[in-house]
Amino acid sequence: MSFRVHLEAVSKNFGEVQALHPLTAQLGPGERIALMGHNGAGKTTLLTVIASLSKASTGNVHYLDGDRELKKKPEIRQRLSLLSHQPMLYPDLSILENFLFFSRMYDLGLSKDAILDHLDAVGMSGDPNRLVRACSQGMTQRLAFARAMLHRPELLLLDEPFSGLDIRGIERVQKLLRDFSGTVVMVSHEVDHCHALMDEFWILRRGRLVKKLQRTQYDRAQLEAEFRSELPEEL
C-alpha cells in the first residue's frame, strides 16, 4: 500500500464563513490520525475535502500512488472510503441488496456468502434480508462501517464511527480498526477511542490546525488536557 494524500494549503469557505484555514499536511501509508476539536472546528469539512467530495476553496489536494499522482476521480475513490454522519445505505433495500449493489459499484463481484462473511465481522450477518429502514441506529452504524470497509480501501475516513454503537459494537469496530493496515483519519470527541486506536492527534480550533501530538508523548489524561485547553471559552 503506497497511497498518500498531500494537502497543500487547503482551505474551505462556505460563503463568508471560513470553515478551514489554509492547511498543509501529508497522510502517509499506515498512519492513524485522530482529528479532534470543538463543534464547528472544521473536522468534518476536512474529511469531505480529503474524500474528494468537497472542492477546496484554495490550495490543492494531491493523491499519490508512490511517485505517480492520481488524477482521475474513479481511480482516487477506489482507494478511499468515508464513513460520515449518514449511513449511506438505501433504506428501502435490504441489507444484502445494499451490499450487493455497492459490491458491484466497486467492481468487487462479491457472492452472497462473501458478503455474509463481511457482515459477520460487525455482527450483522443474522438477518441479511431485513430492510435497512427496519434496523436500529446502532445496527445501521455497524452496517455503515461494514460498507465503508467493503472494498478494502487504503485510506479510511471516519466521522464519529462509534456513534450509537453498543458495547459489543464498539468492541467489534475497535478490533476491525486495529486489524486494518491502511491509513485512518478519524473524527471523534471520545478521547478514549482516539488514544486507544490512533497514533497521532491533530487538534483543530476554529478551522485551524493548532496542534499535532504523538501518542508516544502523551498519555490519555495529558491528551485530554491538551484537547480541553483548545476548546473555545464560549462553547
Partner 1 sequence: MSSPAISTLKMMLAKDLVREMRSKEIFLSSFLFSVILMAAFHFASAANRMPIEYIPTTALWVCILFSGTLGLNRTHASELKNGCFRALMLAPKEAGWIYLAKVTSNALLLGFTLCLLVPILVLFFQFNPGSALFPLLLSLILGILGFVAVGTVIVAVTANTRMSDILFPIIQLPLQVPVLIAGTQATQLCLEGKTPTDWWQFLVAINVVYLSIGFLVYEFLLEE
Q: Does 118 bind partner 1 (CB under 8 A)?
A: no
Question: Taking the CB of residue 108, how many other CB atoms lie within 10 A of it?
Answer: 17
By C-beta, is 75 or 171 nearer to partner 1? 75
Member of 132, 135, 156, 165 binding partner 1 (CB under 8 A):
132
Question: Do 20 and 46 meet the contact criterion of CB atoms below 8 Å apart?
Answer: yes
By C-beta, is 35 or 194 nearer to partner 1? 35
Q: How many residues does the chain have?
A: 235
56's CB contacts (< 8 A; 6+ apart) are: 10, 11, 12, 49
By C-beta, is 73 or 220 nearer to partner 1? 73
By C-beta, is 78 or 125 nearer to partner 1? 78
- E strands in the chain: 3-14, 17-27, 32-37, 58-65, 68-70, 80-83, 155-159, 183-187, 200-205, 208-214
Contact set for partner 1, span 46-105 (CB under 8 A):
48, 51, 53-55, 73-75, 77-78, 80-82, 84-93, 97, 101-102, 104-105
Applying CB under 8 A, the residues found at the interface with partner 1 are: 48, 51, 53-55, 73-75, 77-78, 80-82, 84-93, 97, 101-102, 104-107, 132, 147
